Structure 1
């Protein structure tokens, strides 16, 4: 480990892995028992386990670490993205991921403290956006961003681009690679489906049409061969959770030093001071 920031980043990937493995298992075997196949449902399930508060608290701290790492990727360019459209889009995706995982970390913290919290809902986010100026456009743009992010994630898996930042051991490279491809492709497709719900909600001007992972899985289950596709998508979410652990162990992380963080904060403060 080069510094504490790298430790937090790896902890964050592992925390994300716990959430997605739990989420996928709920979708596979728990939804028939009435458990909620959503990230909130996964967090609640962790809370119900032995030493649940300690486990969920550990996940919450890890998610905070993941958020900080995403912001470092986005704002400090920790991954050394090129200064072109592709690089800026990658950094924008990292920023969006940081915000989403920040909400997830907050939900986990609330459950630890109060054993409560609101359920995950794409509709509630869409409803809030709809109330803002140009709300319909904002919801539609968010949907397009989510679709693009999902497509890019699936493409990174299928094209093996994810390997560029991993150092997999030679003796396990093939197996870990297959798990990574499956997980990235499945999660990317599910993410794109949720983005489609947001675009549809903007089109019909009805925030209730927006959805998240539970609605995406329900949509998949209603397709031809839906039972099998649903099981495949749920297994893919488990695989994405395993991929998160693979990243926690084998990803190359160029963690920013304290001086880099201070320069980034100074730059952000300067920009804020110039705002009216």
Structure 2
């Protein structure tokens, strides 16, 4: 480890990976047994809390998620990955900022549960954000644009997996490359498809002028479940979420991280 910021970043990738493995596990249980808890981040965190030493484990995940948020902010504002300031680089850094905002919500939920304060469930965050956007001038167009952007992000995830571009920042031992690629490709593709479905739900919300039509990964999974052959597709999506969680653990171990010193980062962000 070069410094404590790198430790936080790796801890963050691992924590996010664990959440996705738990989320996929809930969805798999639902796919095989047809009942059980809804596959949501909040239920995944709640299950972790119920494990032996659950509060300690959940606290560790919460700290890791806050570390991941800090790393994404460093990518966005300090250009930790050296994307540059051209249009492509600014787009990548903007994506890091959006990821930081989304994962901050998850980190706060984990910390709240660990502290015994409870957490928000369901898709209330998506509903409230969509309702706020819908209330702005040209609101339905804004919601539609968000949906199209999310669809684009999902397609980009699939492309990153298929093209092996995700490996550009990984240092994977040759003897493990094949297995890691299979898992990573499946995970990225599954998450990309779910992202695209979330984007479609936002577009539906824009067309219907109804914020409640928008949703999160939970609603995307429900949508897939009601398609023809939905149980099979739902099971594949659940396996994909587990695979994406394992990909997060791969990032925690093998990603190249050029992290700034914590004091330098704090000075630059203030």
Query: TM class by shorter-chain length?
Result: over 0.9
Question: 1:79 maps to what in 2?
Answer: 81
* Residue 28 (structure 2) aligns with: 28
Say if 1:132 and 1:247 are closer, same or farther in 2 by CA, change over 3 A. Answer: same
Is the deviation greater in 121-130 or in 239-248? Answer: 121-130
**Map of 1:13-162 to 2, 5 A cutoff?**
13-30=13-30, 32-121=34-123, 122-162=126-166
CA distance in 2, matches of 1:140, 1:197: 9
CA shift for structure 1 position 258? 4.6
TM-score, structure 2 length as denominator? 0.93
| Contact map agreement 1:36 1:42 (CA 8 A) in 2 | no
Secondary structure, counterpart of 2:236 in structure 1: helix
- Alignment partners' CA distance in 1, 2:38 and 2:227: 21
Superposition deviation, residue 107 in structure 1: 0.8
Partner of 1:229: 233
Mapped to 2, the partners of 1:30 and 1:224 lie a distance apart of 17
Alpha-carbon separation, structure 2, partners of 1:80 and 1:23 = 32
Instruction: Tell me if structure 2 keeps the 8 A contact 1:76–1:260.
Output: no
Is 1:204 paired with 2:181?
no
Equivalent residue, structure 1, for 2:191: 187
Aligned length: 266
Larger RCO: 1 or 2 (CA < 8 Å, sep 6+): 2
Instruction: Please report the RMSD computed on the Cα atoms of aligned residues, expressed in angstroms.
Output: 1.7
Partners of 1:88 and 1:39 in 2: CA distance: 29
Contact 1:151–1:189 under 8 Å retained in 2 = yes
CA distance in structure 2 between the partners assigned to 1:262 and 1:211 by the alignment: 34
Q: Structure 1 residue 3 and structure 2 residue 3: aligned?
A: yes
- TM-score by length of structure 1 reads 0.91
State the Cα distance separating 1:155 from its structure 2 match: 0.8
Task: Tell me if the contact between 1:14 and 1:248 (Cα under 8 Å) persists in the aligned partners.
Answer: yes
Indicate if the aligned counterparts of 2:49 and 2:114 stay in contact, CA closer than 8 A: yes
Kept in 2, the 8 Å contact 1:15–1:59? The answer is yes
| Structure 1, gaps ≥5 residues long | 267-276
Task: Tell whether the 8 Å contact from 1:10 to 1:249 is kept in structure 2 after alignment.
Answer: yes
Alignment partners' CA distance in 2, 1:158 and 1:182: 9
- C-alpha distance in structure 2 between counterparts of 1:259 and 1:16, whole Å: 24
Greater alpha carbon shift after TM alignment, 46-55 vs 128-137: 128-137
Which secondary structure does the structure 2 equivalent of 1:116 belong to? coil
Of 256, 261, 265, which aligns to 1:257? 261
Match of 2:176 among 158, 172, 182: 172
Residue 270 (structure 1) aligns with: none
Q: Distance in 2 between matches of 1:30 and 1:54?
A: 27
* Aligned residues of 2:5 and 2:262 also touching (Cα < 8 A): no
